[in-house]
Every structure is written in C-alpha cells, then in structure tokens.
Chain A
Amino acid sequence: MSTAYEDDVAEWAKEQAFWLRSGQLSLADSLHLAEEIEGIGTGAIIELAHRCSSLLAHLARWQRQGGNRCELWRQLIDLQRQRIRRMLKRVPSLNSVLEDPEFLQDVWLDALIKVIGENACYDLPETSLWTLTQALAEDFFPE
C-alpha cells in the first residue's frame, strides 16, 4: 500500500524515492512527482527576487541620497551584482526571469518597501526607474 500525496507528503516522498531507486516505476505517482519537480525552480527565483530588490534599493539610494555616497555603498552594489551574476551563470534559465516585466514590478515594489521611509525616497515612482539589465551593468551608477 502506498501513502497518498494528500495524506502525508513526507511519507509519500520517502516511498516515492524508494520506488524510483528500486526500479518499481509502475508504483510511482508521476503527476505529483511532476508537480514537486517543477517546484524546484521556485526557491531559486525567490532568492533572485530578494537579491534584485536589494540591488534596486541600493541604486535608488545612490541616486536620491547623493550626499551620502561612499565607497561602502559602491562596494555593496558591486557585490550584489557579482552574486546575481554567479546565480545566473549556475542556472542560466533565470535569465528569462530577469526579462519578465512582472518580475521587475515585483522586485521594484519590494525595493520601494525597503527605502520609502528614507531621506528623499518618498516620491519614487511606482514602476521601476531601471530595467534589471541596466541595474546589473557593472558601471551603472545612476546620477
């Protein structure tokens, strides 16, 4: 007897892994396996979104709080860009996520949530000032 996906996902997962490894594929629950496997991308996309919103927030500060610019800020922007580029290199299909306007809007709103209470940031527009391709370019520091 196998455990139904709906009844106990942890037990289900253990059994499914066993059926797969022991070659008893007729017992495997292919539809739920497909759903779970598709979910793998979600974690990577959430991390990418988090990093992009943090990068956009830094860029907004850079532009709006010109008086506070310092080497540390430049380094933070640079390090976040490096980290994002490394993720893209490891999982190239994330590149298409970066080009999705819905994704850009999500991460921009997250960036606004971070900076809206800060000096000179209260009137930032509700759509992003930059595309993510711009934001990721090495020498882009908005005036």
Chain B
Amino acid sequence: MGTLYEDDVIAWAEQQAALLRAGRWELLDIDNIAEEIEDVGKSEKRELQSRLTVLFSHLLKWKFQQTRRTNSWRKTIRTQRAEIKKDIKKCPSLKTLMSDPAWVETAYHRAVVDTYAQTLLPALPIDAPWSVAEAMSDEFFPE
C-alpha cells in the first residue's frame, strides 16, 4: 500500500488543495507539495528557451538564405522578439537565464539542429555569430 500521492496523483491533488484552502497545515503532505511547486517555474523556463531557439533559427535563416529576406520574414523575427520580451515582463526572474552563457548556448545549438533539418543548409556556425543582446535588438538583421 503506497501513499495517495503514488496511488492517484489527481485524487492527492484535490485532497491537498482542499487542505490548503482550509489552512490545515498539520495534515498536508509538505514534501510532495514542495516538489510539485518547484516544477511550476520550469514550464516558463522551457517556453522561454524554445522561443529563443525559434528566434535564433529565424536569424540563421535570415543570414544564410538571402533570397528569402522579405518584409514578412522581418516581421516574423520582430514578433518573436516581442513574445520573448512579453515572457520576461511576466516573469522578470527569467532575465537571469538570458545572461547564462550555457543556457543560451543550448538554445543556439537546438536552433542549428532545427535549421539544418528544415533547410539542409551546410556549414551553419557551431558558435552563435551574435550575442543575445544583438539577437534581441529591434534593428538587428545579420548580414
């Protein structure tokens, strides 16, 4: 016989939510609540990384597919930047990730893999040919 958390996580969640609302701290399953709550910020982080990956991939295509440089493509890049800014505004602590080189590098490497899969462009640079600040600035469209 396991705990309710192991046996039926939805039933457990309903029970714990009711106890929280009633202020019955002494009955709460504190360890598992803490663990679940630590996951809450993770989806925001994942979303930001996937948006940054898309932005990098757009910029790679801009740089290496000169013939595809159109106004609508420019607009797509600007929209992606705006979405990233919106995410950070909603959750300011995400800003620290944008200045974490390893985290940014992961996003860039994913962008290279995605871009290659979509375009088969050879020789995409292994290291990002721009900084995060550049990638995020309104008028930056790499030549």
Contact = CB atoms under 8 A, between A and B. Distances in A.
Q: Do A and B bind each other?
A: yes
B37 A33 contact: yes
A115 interface: no
B79 to A, nearest CB: 23
Given A8-B93, A9-B91, A38-B17, A91 B10 contact: yes
A86 to B, nearest CB: 14
B116 to A, nearest CB: 29
A93 B35 CA distance: 21
B139 interface: no
A40 B25 contact: no
Interface in A51-107: 91-94
B25 A25 contact: yes
A31 B19 CA distance: 10
Interface residues of B, number: 32
A41 interface: yes
Contact of B30 (A21, A35, A92): A21
Main secondary structure of the interface of B (DSSP, over half): helix
B14 interface: yes
B55 to A, nearest CB: 20
Contacts, number: 96
A92 B11 CA distance: 8
* Interface magnitude class on chain A: 20 to 34
A81 B93 CA distance: 43
A10 B17 contact: no
B10 A40 contact: yes
Interface in A22-40: 25, 30-31, 33-40
A94 B11 CA distance: 9
A7 B41 CA distance: 13
B91 A93 contact: no
B100 interface: no
Contact of B92 (A7, A40, A41): A7
- 9 smallest CB-CB distances across A and B, nearest first, come from A10-B41, A13-B40, A34-B20, A11-B93, A41-B10, A34-B17, A20-B34, A13-B41, A40-B13
Interface of A: 3, 7-14, 16-17, 20-21, 25, 30-31, 33-41, 44, 91-94
20 contacts: A9-B41, A10-B41, A10-B91, A12-B41, A13-B38, A16-B34, A21-B30, A25-B30, A33-B33, A33-B37, A37-B13, A37-B16, A37-B36, A38-B14, A41-B9, A41-B10, A41-B13, A44-B10, A91-B8, A91-B10
